[in-house]
Structure 1
Amino acid sequence: MFVVSKWSFAFVPPVTMGFFRVALGALTLWLGVVATNRRGSLGGDGGAGIDRADWPAFVGLGGWVAVTIATQFLGTELTNASQGSLLTVLTPVFAVGLGASVLGERVTRRKAVGIALAAVGTVIVLAGQYDLTTIAAGNAAGVGLLVVASFAWAGYTVWGVSVVRKYSALTAATYSTIAATPMLAVLAAVELAVLRRGIGSIPVTAESIFATAYLGLAATAAAWYLWYKGLEFVSAGTVAVFFFLQPIVGISLGALLLGERIGPGFVVGSLVVGGGVWIVSRERADDADDTDQQRSVTEQ
Structure 2
Amino acid sequence: MSRFRHYVFALGPLAAAALWGGMYVVSKWSFSLVPPVTLGFFRVALGAAALWLWLGLTGSRSRPSREDWPALVGLGGWVTVTIVAQFLGTELTNASQGSLLTVLTPVFVVVLGAAVRGERVTRTKTAGIALAAVGTAVVVAGQYDPGTVAVGNAAGVGLLVVASLAWAGYTVWGVRVVRRYSALTAATYSTVAATPMLGLLSLGELWYLGRGLATIPLGASSLFAIAYLGLASTAAAWYLWYKGLEYVPAGTVAVFYFLQPVVGTALAAALLGEQVGAWFVAGSLTIGVGVWVVSRGRADQNGRQPRDRSGLRE
Provide the TM-score with structure 1 as the length reference: 0.93
Residue 286 of structure 2 corresponds to residue 272 of structure 1: yes
Q: What does residue 292 of structure 1 align with?
A: 304
1:115-153 Cα distance to aligned partner (Å, 9 max, x none):
001111111111111122222211001000000000000
Helix, strand or coil at the partner of 1:160: helix
Structure 1 residues 73 and 294: alpha-carbon distance in aligned structure 2, compared to 1, 3 A threshold: farther
Q: What does residue 84 of structure 1 align with?
A: 98
Same amino acid, percent of matched pairs: 70
Of 231, 245, 250 in structure 2, the residue corresponding to residue 231 of structure 1 is 245
Runs of at least 4 residues off by over 4 Å? none
Deviation at 1:51, TM superposition (A): 0.6
Q: What does residue 143 of structure 1 align with?
A: 157
Helix, strand or coil at the partner of 2:63: coil
Q: What does residue 204 of structure 1 align with?
A: 218
Q: What does residue 58 of structure 2 align with?
A: 36
**Unmatched segments (≥5 aa) in structure 1:** 38-45
Residue 27 of structure 2 corresponds to residue 27 of structure 1: no
1:25-64 aligned at under 5 Å gives the runs 25-37=47-59, 46-64=60-78
Q: What does residue 18 of structure 1 align with?
A: 40
Q: Distance in 2 between matches of 1:82 and 1:113?
A: 24
Q: Distance in 2 between matches of 1:146 and 1:294?
A: 36
Residue 202 of structure 2 corresponds to residue 188 of structure 1: yes
1:141-180 aligned at under 5 Å gives the runs 141-180=155-194
Structure 1 residues 150 and 299: alpha-carbon distance in aligned structure 2, compared to 1, 3 A threshold: closer
Q: Distance in 1 between matches of 2:186 and 2:99?
A: 27
Q: Distance in 2 between matches of 1:128 and 1:65?
A: 31
Query: Which amino acid in structure 1 is aligned with residue 289 of structure 2?
Result: G
Q: What does residue 28 of structure 2 align with?
A: 6
Query: Which amino acid in structure 2 is aligned with residue 122 of structure 1?
Result: T
Deviation at 1:294, TM superposition (A): 6.7
Q: What does residue 105 of structure 1 align with?
A: 119
Deviation at 1:299, TM superposition (A): 7.1
Q: What does residue 41 of structure 1 align with?
A: none
Helix, strand or coil at the partner of 2:38: helix
Deviation at 1:293, TM superposition (A): 3.1
Deviation at 1:292, TM superposition (A): 3.5
Helix, strand or coil at the partner of 2:151: coil
Residue 263 of structure 2 corresponds to residue 249 of structure 1: yes
Q: Distance in 1 between matches of 2:198 and 2:208?
A: 15
Please tell me whether the aligned partners of residues 102 and 164 of structure 2 are also in contact (alpha carbons under 8 angstroms): yes
Q: What does residue 17 of structure 2 align with?
A: none
Helix, strand or coil at the partner of 1:197: coil
For structure 1, which segment, 263-272 or 164-173, has the greater mean C-alpha deviation from structure 2 after superposition? Answer: 263-272
**Unmatched segments (≥5 aa) in structure 2:** 1-22
Please tell me whether the aligned partners of residues 117 and 303 of structure 2 are also in contact (alpha carbons under 8 angstroms): no
Please tell me whether the aligned partners of residues 103 and 294 of structure 1 are also in contact (alpha carbons under 8 angstroms): no
Q: What does residue 43 of structure 1 align with?
A: none
Helix, strand or coil at the partner of 1:83: helix
Q: Distance in 2 between matches of 1:117 and 1:290?
A: 24
Helix, strand or coil at the partner of 2:83: helix
Helix, strand or coil at the partner of 1:138: coil
Please tell me whether the aligned partners of residues 235 and 290 of structure 1 are also in contact (alpha carbons under 8 angstroms): no
Q: Distance in 1 between matches of 2:258 and 2:192?
A: 28
Structure 1 residues 299 and 243: alpha-carbon distance in aligned structure 2, compared to 1, 3 A threshold: closer
Deviation at 1:53, TM superposition (A): 1.0
